[in-house]
Amino acid sequence: MTSMRTAIILLTLLALAAVPGSLLPQRNVATDPAAVDRFVMENPHLSPWLDRLGLFDVYASAWFAAIYLLLLVSMTGCVLPRCARLWRSVRSAPVRAPGNLARMEGHVEWTAHSGPASEASPQVAAADLLRDRGFRVEIHGNEVRAEKGYLRELGNLVFHLSLLVLLVGVAAGRLFGFEGRVALAEGATFTNVRSEYDAFTPSVWTDVDNLEPLSFTLDDFEATFETTGAKAGEPRRFNAALSFRTGTGSPTRVQDVQPNHPLDINETKAFLTGHGYAPVVTVRDGRGDVTFSGPVIFLPRDSTYASDGVIKAPDAVPQPLAFEGFFLPTADIDDRGPYSAFPDAFNPELFLTAFTGDMGLDDGTPQSVFTLDKTNMEQVTGEDGQPLAQALAVGETMTLPGGVGTLTFDKVARFANFQIAYDPGKEISLLAALMLLAGLTTSLSVRRRRIWLRVTPGADGAADHIEVAGQSLTRWPLKPADLDALVAALRPAPISTPLRERTRS
Partner 1 sequence: MIDPTMLASLSNLLIYTAIAVYAVAFLTYAGETALRTTRRSTAPAYLGVGPGGPEPSPEPLSSEPLLPDPHDRIRQRADWLGAAGTNVTIVGLALIVTATVARGIAAQRAPWGNMFEFALVGAVALTAAYLAFLARRPVRAFGVWIVGLVLLALGMAVTVLYTPVDALVPVLNSYWLVIHVAAAITGGGIFSVGAVATGLFLVRDRADRRGPTSGRRRYADALPTSTTLAQVMHAAHMLAFPIWTFAVLAGAVWAENSWGRYWGWDPKETWAFITWVLYAAYLHAESTAGWRGRRAALFALGGYAAFLFNFFGVNLWISGLHSYAGV
Residues that bind ligand HEM (CB under 6 A): 2-4, 6-7, 11, 71-72, 74-75, 78, 156, 160, 163, 440, 443-444
Rounded to 5 degrees, what angle do the CA atoms 99, 101, 105 make? 140
CB of 85 to ligand HEM, least distance (A): 10
The distance of Cα 344 from the centroid of its chain, to the nearest Å, equals: 31
For residues 240 and 307, give the distance between their C-alpha atoms in angstroms, rounded to a whole number: 20
Question: In whole angstroms, what is the distance from residue 328 CA to residue 342 CA?
Answer: 9
CB of 433 to ligand HEM, least distance (A): 13
32 near partner 1 (CB under 8 A): yes
> Is the dihedral angle over the CA atoms 44, 46, 47, 48 positive or is it negative?
positive
Residue nearest to ligand HEM (CB): 78
Candidate segments 140-148, 190-198, 267-275, 348-356, binder of partner 1 by CB under 8 A: 267-275
Assess contact for 389 and 260: CB atoms under 8 A. Answer: no
- How many other C-beta atoms are found inside a 10 Å radius of the C-beta of residue 13? 17
Q: Which of residues 376-415 bind partner 1 (CB under 8 A)?
A: none
Among 113, 131, 237, 253, binds partner 1 (CB under 8 A): 237
| Out of 1, 23, 117, 204, the residue judged to bind partner 1 by CB under 8 A | 23
Distance between CA 437 and CA 166 in Å, rounded? 12
Nearer to ligand HEM, 103 or 475 (CB): 475
Q: What is the DSSP letter of 494?
A: P
Give the one entry of ligand HEM, partner 1, none that residue 436 binds, where binding means its C-beta sits below a cut-off of 5 to 8 angstroms depending on kind. partner 1
Q: Does 204 contact partner 1 by CB under 8 A? A: no
CB contact at 8 A, 427 and 116? no
Side chain identity, residue 408: T
Show the binding pattern over residues 81-120: x = contacts partner 1 (CB under 8 A), - = does not: ----------------------------------------
| Residue 231 lies near partner 1 (rule: CB under 8 A) | yes
Provide, rounded to whole angstroms, the least separation between the CB of residue 470 and partner 1. 17
Partner that binds at residue 78, options ligand HEM, partner 1, none, CB closer than 5 to 8 Å by kind: ligand HEM
Using CB under 8 A as the binding rule, whether residue 476 contacts partner 1 is answered as yes
Distances (CA, A) of 311 to 252, 416, 426: 32, 18, 41
Choice between 123 and 429, CB closer to ligand HEM: 429
Query: Which has the closest alpha carbon to 114: 103, 106, 125?
Result: 125
Q: What is the CA radius of gyration of the chain?
A: 37
Residue 20 φ then ψ, to 5°: -60, -30
Looking at the Cβ atoms of 119 and 222, the one nearer to partner 1 is 222
Per-residue binding string, partner 1, 39-68, x by CB under 8 A, is -------------------xx---------
**141, 454 contact by CB (below 8 A):** no
Measuring CA to CA, which residue among 183, 207, 205, 204 is closest to residue 193?
207
The residue ranges that bind partner 1 (CB under 8 A) are: 4-5, 7-8, 11-12, 14-15, 18-19, 21-23, 26, 29-32, 58-59, 170, 179, 226, 229-231, 234-238, 258-260, 262, 269, 271, 273, 419-421, 423, 426, 429-430, 433, 436-437, 440-441, 444-445, 475-476, 501, 505
